[in-house]
Structure 1
């Protein structure tokens, strides 16, 4: 990967937990944008194939971290699945995102391009979340506590975001209700929730890789499950809405044959978010793309290069143009 520079490291959040980090950086040519990536349930940053290198080769630096409880951020067996409640999850993402933004001057203006520090050059910053991570970054973009941070993000990308289960995967209301009650008593009680690899991707090689990956422990906690479902309900129920005008652009990508995260709920949410009758709260630059027949992991599906190109094009169109691409129309379909 001579055309891409890969850097591994760690990032310490406010409560002292150390998270594994990995970056894919352009080895040659100008830096044109940055993308912060947030993975999903039972996942880690090394499972995204050529997605991140493909973006880096186009001048888009990718910075990712294994969330607490997942991947190489797990230090002991007791850490598995302990992602925390929503405030802790959002605080982790916000802290990591802030570390990759250019430093601000005392008057609130951004530092000049090329400024030092973890933020690096002053280029547009984008945030992508997949699955559970998609619901998390959308919740972050809808939380007034982070309004100043949200305003500094040029665009948000949701890959198969979890806004609710498909009918086949939906737990019963009794299971959800009892789990929420138990989460208040024993929040760190762990549950193993296997997801068949064949439900995640159509590629047999990817399915075999998922089954063999020892970092995929399939373990969550009552607290974590309750938080994930609660965020989805708050987003689809309108209790959490993307902050306007801070949230400027949104790309939503979802496979129509997703067996885990409901395609219909995400499409309905997107239609509502850009409905003109919402007035100034309507997201005019919201692009929704349905990948016909694709499963949950768009980044690993057969033909995944199409998804890689779509994301790269969308980012560069909103980064001052790029590679001869015209600016995207507000209601453009990829």
Structure 2
């Protein structure tokens, strides 16, 4: 049974967090970081599946997303990372001794990776699903324009993502478009620029990541190409890294018709690391 509570961020914003307690004995905790424009409540399928198998699951509505306060899908990345750190600290305090895994999807995978590189000791494992992690640097011209827009017109709409290609499941796609809490507009200038900066910074530090890592990606992903996860797998030096590719699957792996296969792979990997 999902519960929802709210708490104040370091700068006073009201943030919403979803929690699914484990059925029976708690094996470990999984914290989900959702994708850009999404919110924590939309990950109920994976959360309910994990909870039924003894995993406690929590998912924050990132600031400016879902029911959380803040500039709509356009906050500073540094503040998202601070919010993640506050949520992790609270979990460690309220669930001492439980292993803690971070699961980031898409843009949330970028945040999870950036957080893990800065706070490896606080995590027992990292799951990166359809992760936004460009393998090559963005051109200097694009970065200069992005920096200018982020400073002078941070709310300007830039790239439009092909959201109609996020999943091949018609009902899941209909639910996505019907959800009033989902942000489906163009990527805002500040968020786009700061995300590119974060990708550039994390790319240079990947060899330092020693946390056990699972990479999940569909080969037909049109939002974050599968090459992103292939690059991450090859760049990581950790001996405990796993890459799972799903032929023909799109961006939202947990909403695809083959979601049970993805969930089975996830739970198998998690179970082997507690």
For residues 195-228 of structure 1, the C-alpha deviation after alignment (integer angstroms, 9 at most, x for no partner) is 3443100111112122222112224432211111
* Aligned residue in 1 for 2:196: 229
Aligned pair in 2 of structure 1 residues 178, 48: CA closer, same or farther (>3 Å)?
same
Pairing partner for 2:132 from 162, 166, 171? 162
Between structure 1 and structure 2, the one with the greater Rg is 1
Q: 1:152 aligns with which of 122, 131, 151?
A: 122
Q: Say if 1:197 and 1:211, in contact at 8 Å, map to a contact too.
A: no
Corresponding residue pairs, total: 272
Partner of 2:256: 301
Check the 8 A contact 1:90/1:136 in 2, yes or no. yes
Q: 2:240 aligns with which of 285, 294, 298?
A: 285
TM-score (norm 1): 0.76
Contact 1:142 1:242 in 2 (8 A): no
Q: Which of 207, 210, 221 matches 1:258?
A: 221
Contact 2:131/2:228 (<8 A) preserved: no
Q: Is the 8 A contact 2:132 2:228 kept in 1?
A: no
- Is the 8 Å Cα contact of residues 41 and 59 (structure 2) preserved in structure 1? no
The gaps in structure 2 that reach 5 residues or longer are none
Structure 1 unaligned regions, length at least 5: 103-118, 274-281, 320-334
Equivalent position of 1:267 in the other structure: 230
Q: 1:241 aligns with which of 206, 211, 236?
A: 206
Q: Which moved more, 1:192-201 or 1:38-47?
A: 192-201
* Distance in 2 of aligned mates of 1:152 and 1:62: 17
Report what 1:141 is aligned to. 116
CA contact (8 A) 1:35 1:128 kept: yes
TM-fit CA distance, 1:185: 2.8
Pair 62,49 (structure 1): closer, same or farther in 2 beyond 3 Å: closer
Distance in 1, matches of 2:165 and 2:197, equals 23
CA displacement, residues 129-176 of structure 1 (integer Å, 9 cap, x when unaligned): 000010111011122xx4xxx21311000011101399xxxx987555
Secondary structure, counterpart of 1:210 in structure 2: helix
Deviation per residue, 1:308-333 (Å, 9 max, x gap): 111111111111xxxxxxxxxxxxxx
Larger proportion of helix: 2
Deviations 1:42-77 (Å, cap 9, x if unpaired)?
A: 1011222421000001111001110011111147xx
Question: d(CA) in 2 for partners of 1:181 and 1:192?
Answer: 13
Instruction: Give the Cα separation in 2 of the matches to 1:312 and 1:288.
Output: 14
Shift of residue 120 of structure 1? 2.2
Matches within 5 A, 1:176-255: 176-187=143-154, 189-191=155-157, 194-219=160-185, 220-236=187-203, 238=204, 240-241=205-206, 243-244=208-209, 247-255=210-218
Q: 1:165 to 1:201 in 2, by over 3 A?
A: farther
Q: Is the 8 A contact 2:99 2:123 kept in 1?
A: yes
* 1:11-90 matches, cutoff 5 A: 11-27=7-23, 29-74=24-69, 79-84=71-76, 86-90=77-81
